[in-house]
A and B are shown apart, each in its own frame.
Chain A
Amino acid sequence: AQTVTQSQPEMSVQEAETVTLSCTYDTSENNYYLFWYKQPPSRQMILVIRQEAYKQQNATENRFSVNFQKAAKSFSLKISDSQLGDTAMYFCAFMKGHYGQNFVFGPGTRLSVLP
């Protein structure tokens, strides 16, 4: 079974600074997807960024980028120019294959952006 680990339960960062959230996963699969979801105080689950395992290039979405190390099974999220609106719970997630099988979430990292 796949597992997802987020070793930082809580983090904080000053506004405009850069922060990196860690995620590791365990799988024997070769084809899979990785995701970062954000859950702000509104509790809505919002997709931040997605990475296909077969792509070597790291995904980027505006201020959000990932460092995907397939051999090390590591998938960290970097937030640049942190904004107050980035304050949220961040969940790393793994999905096997293409059909939504075994969609597994990590325990989450609570990020606070300080003014």
Chain B
Amino acid sequence: DSGVTQTPKHLITATGQRVTLRCSPRSGDLSVYWYQQSLDQGLQFLIQYYNGEERAKGNILERFSAQQFPDLHSELNLSSLELGDSALYFCASSPTRGTGELFFGEGSRLTVL
């Protein structure tokens, strides 16, 4: 158990809909990262937050948005969903300073029909 919690684990929805994925980082970790992994693909970096502020942005679509709340949990909002958005969405957190590694949640598997 990495200590990073993601909900929901599985989500099935239809094209055009909107969903929200939630992530609770490990206790004490201020950084949260979101990654997208399509079937048999690598990890695509979407966005990083540090203590509530956006720190880095990757290839995140305009239909997607995220935020980190004062209690440090984060949400990834995906709207106007398309079939190609079907993927595994990972959240990870990292310590403020130290070993530098990312601790990953189990992922949220999104299926768009």
Which A positions have Cβ atoms within 8 angstroms of B?
33, 35, 43-45, 47, 50, 52, 91, 93, 95, 98-108
Contact = CB atoms under 8 A, between A and B. Distances in A.
B23 to A, nearest CB: 14
Secondary structure dominating the interface of A: strand
B104 A100 contact: no
Contact of B107 (A43, A91, A101): A43
B43 A100 contact: no
B106 to A, nearest CB: 6
Interface in B90-110: 90, 92, 94, 96-104, 106-107
B81 to A, nearest CB: 21
Contact of B90 (A33, A45, A107, A108): A45
A99 B42 contact: no
Contacts of B103: 47
Nearest to A95: B100
Contact of A106 (B42, B88, B101): B42
Contacts of A44: 104, 106-107
Given A91-B43, A108-B42, A100 B99 contact: no
A99 B50 CA distance: 9
Given A43-B107, A107-B42, A99 B96 contact: yes
Contact of B100 (A98, A106, A108): A98
Contact of B56 (A35, A43, A101): A101
A33 B99 CA distance: 8
Contacts of B31: 99-100
B64 interface: no
B104 A35 contact: no
Contacts of A47: 101-103
